[in-house]
Structure 1
Amino acid sequence: MCQLATMLTEVEFIAGDVPGQWMPFVSAQDFEAGLFLMTQIMDEARHTDVFRKRALANGGGLLAQGAGLGLRTLIEARDFTEMSVLMHVQAEGFVQSMFRMGELIGQTEADKRIFRMSAQDESRHLAFGVMHLKYVLDTEPERREEIHHYLDKAEGDAAGGGSGDVTFPPVFEALCILLGGGVDKFDEGLQKFLLLRKRQINEYVHRLTVAGLGDRRQRLGPLMAQFLDPA
């Protein structure tokens, strides 16, 4: 659990830091968006705090840190829509899919409650991202290929074993052990991990479809497309 909590500490810190970078650029007439970003920063601060404390709670401590490729993509976003699509729709979507399997991952009632409450927060962030993407595609359809380009790069980084990626070997192993219920049940945990990955990818594509980017299904890279259900 300490390794998983370490990864989530990294992810949630960036998820709170990135919206803060955009606050000065939100127009006064769009104050609702600014207010929402403030609530997200508060949510992510709680998540960072709880997962860091969870990693330290039993003496295990913070463990292996990834390369940060996927997280760096969020920080380097130069457009608000780019940031929102990559963070709210993709990154937080993957995390929420994992949180929703918290009943299987959590080993104690406290762990399960952490995942349940974090998933509730992530749902709000996801809803904002999907609505924003839908608005952009409806009002600026010429940006469709631009958004595909953002996702092309981010999906490659997210599958590269860096921070925030469940295929990063230490996180992958930790999840298999947690899902299986022990080191001796690693193979059983692996099967559940594959179900988690399948859920992440299919829910990701579903959200993009709802937003109006259903053709993303045909452009997924092979590492993600292998988990996708038939249309």
Structure 2
Amino acid sequence: MTEVLDLGWLSFEQGAHLLLRRALDSLRPGEHLAVTGGDPALLPHLRAWCRNQGHHARSVEDEPGIKAHVIRGTADDDRWAGAERAGRPGPGGIAASAPRHWGLAARGALVEPGGPEAPFDLTDRDLVWAEVAPALYRHAASAQWDPETAVAWDAEFTLPGEIEHAVVQVMTYLVENEQAALVIPARLLTRIHPHFREVMQLLAVQAADEARHVEVFTRRALLRGDEMGTSSAGGRHSLATLLTEPDFSLASFLLSVLGEGTFLNLLDFLETHAPDPVTRQATALARRDEARHVAFGVAHLHHLGTVDPGLRGRLRAAIERRHDALLDTAGLNSSVFDSLVVLAAGAWTPEAISRGWQAVGRLQSEMDDGRQRRLAHLGFPADEAAELSRLHTRNFM
């Protein structure tokens, strides 16, 4: 006996397809469903919906009260025939490779065939992944801070003009470098297939971190005056070599593992020698964010190194290529170096300046030690790690 579905006066524009789909779900392919209803547009809408869904509809005139019969389509008729899951079964379900035709489909969704090819070029998991990425994203999301309230902008302090000038110069330098560190993850995340969403999310927060750093360092620079410090051509040239690196892993290596890793030492130095509470708070907050950026870069490259035996050769070539490109540049802005000495000295006596000079020397040594440790973690022998660390840009980032 054929089942009958009475739609009453419900139209397809008001949800009649929901009742029809539910009734068809209880049938086997090839079985009939009689449909009746009072909507004047029932038949054309019914036929259009069935064509779209892979079913067959025919109107009837010899059965009182029945407008049409719907025959449930077979698997071959179904528009979802050939559909695939965007990922492996089970929690997480991250695939080793994400085809471009998955596009923006949620991970684990059933993907209908025939969609457009998405423009993402980083579609292999190993090219972007680190096992720690989900945990780092959760930490990053919970560790966001508000520049307006996290820093005591109204703290009372007075600095000598020369000390304030040194702070302004260092803040100007930090802003320049943080702007590069904002642009790079923002550019890279647009290339990652959304199937690897945790990496996209992490890079998005990283870009937000850097935007916040740009804000607080700019605000501190202008807190007691209306002019920023100087920007050297050599410094901008050094950062330009980061912006033009097209390879995701090499860009992460140069920026996060070497550049931001080196900046961890610099921010720690500035927090220690900050002449005022605002500078101290701003650099301490930024350092916590930067540590997370470095952690992802190191974890990603460590993961990639387990599946790509040629990675270390590529990393070495990237360092050497950048070193050669910067060979004729001046390196660190001398005004920045002198400002660091002044901040560490804390006074204008020969003895104090000597202490400040030695402190900056120790900073450079600590930067070198940190780079060597991270390079060793990535599998470089100690002598090669030392050699490559020495080739790192004199501009720190």
**TM-score, with normalisation over the residues of structure 1?**
0.88
Of structures 1 and 2, the one scoring higher in RCO (CA 8 A, sep 6+) is 1
- Equivalent AA in structure 2 for residue 132 of structure 1: H
Aligned to 2:112: none
Alignment match, 2:364: 197
Aligned to 2:247: 79
The answer to whether the 8 Å contact 2:341/2:356 transfers is yes
Query: For residues 364 and 354 of structure 2, what CA distance do their matches in structure 1 show?
Result: 15
Equivalent of 1:219, from 387, 390, 393?
387
Partners of 1:160 and 1:138 lie apart in 2 by: 36
Q: Distance in 2 between matches of 1:223 and 1:28?
A: 36
Check if 1:23 corresponds to 2:189.
yes
8 Å CA contact 1:159, 1:223 repeated in 2: no
Match of 1:107 in 2: 275
In the alignment, which residue of structure 2 is the partner of 1:135? 303
- How far has the Cα of 1:188 moved from its partner? 1.6
1:1-231 correspondence runs (5 A): 1-59=167-225, 61-67=227-233, 68-155=236-323, 157=326, 160-162=329-331, 167-184=332-349, 185-214=352-381, 216-220=384-388
Question: Structure 1 residue 155: deviation in Å?
Answer: 4.6
Percent identity over the alignment is: 27
5+ residue gaps, structure 2: 1-166, 393-397
Contact 1:2 1:54 in 2 (8 A): yes
Distance (Å, rounded) in 2 between the aligned partners of 1:182 and 1:153? 41
In the other structure, the counterpart of 1:229 is none
The structure with more radius of gyration: 2
Post-superposition Cα deviations, 1:120-172, rounded to whole Å, max 9, x if no partner, equal 0001000000011111211101132111011123356399444xxxx320100
Deviation of 1:212 after TM superposition, in Å, equals 2.0
Q: Which structure is higher in helix share?
A: 1
- Which consecutive segments of 4 or more residues in structure 1 shift more than 4 A? 221-224
What are the superposed Cα offsets for residues 81-112 of structure 1, whole Å, 9 maximum, x if unpaired? Answer: 11100001011011111111233331012211
For 1:158 and 1:202, how far apart are their aligned partners in 2? 22
Number of residue pairs aligned between Structure 1 and Structure 2: 220
TM-score (norm 2): 0.52
Query: What runs of 5+ residues in structure 1 fail to find an aligned partner?
Result: 225-231
* Conserved 8 A contact 2:274-2:280: yes
Give the aligned CA root-mean-square deviation in angstroms: 2.0
Quickly say closer, same or farther: Cα 1:155–1:117, change in 2 above 3 A: farther
The corresponding residue for 2:87 is none
Deviates more, 1:125-134 or 1:135-144: 135-144
Task: Give the whole-Å Cα distance in 2 for the aligned partners of 1:214 and 1:66.
Answer: 35
Counterparts of 1:212 and 1:122, CA distance in 2: 23
Tell whether the 8 Å contact from 1:3 to 1:62 is kept in structure 2 after alignment.
Answer: yes
Q: Is the CA contact (8 Å cut-off) linking 1:13 and 1:45 kept in structure 2? A: yes
Once the two structures are superposed, residues 5-31 of structure 1 have per-residue CA deviations (whole angstroms, 9 ceiling, x without a partner) of 000000011101111111221012211
Letter in 1 for 2:340: L
Query: Which has the larger share of strand?
Result: 2
How far apart are the structure 1 equivalents of 2:391 and 2:226?
Answer: 32
Distance 1:169 1:86, change over 3 A: same
CA separation of 1:45 and 1:53: change in aligned 2, threshold 3 A: same
The question of whether the paired residues in 2 share the 8 Å contact of 1:131 and 1:211 is answered with: no
Range with bigger deviation, 98-107 or 195-204: 98-107
Q: Which amino acid aligns with 1:66?
A: S
Code of the aligned partner of 2:303: Y
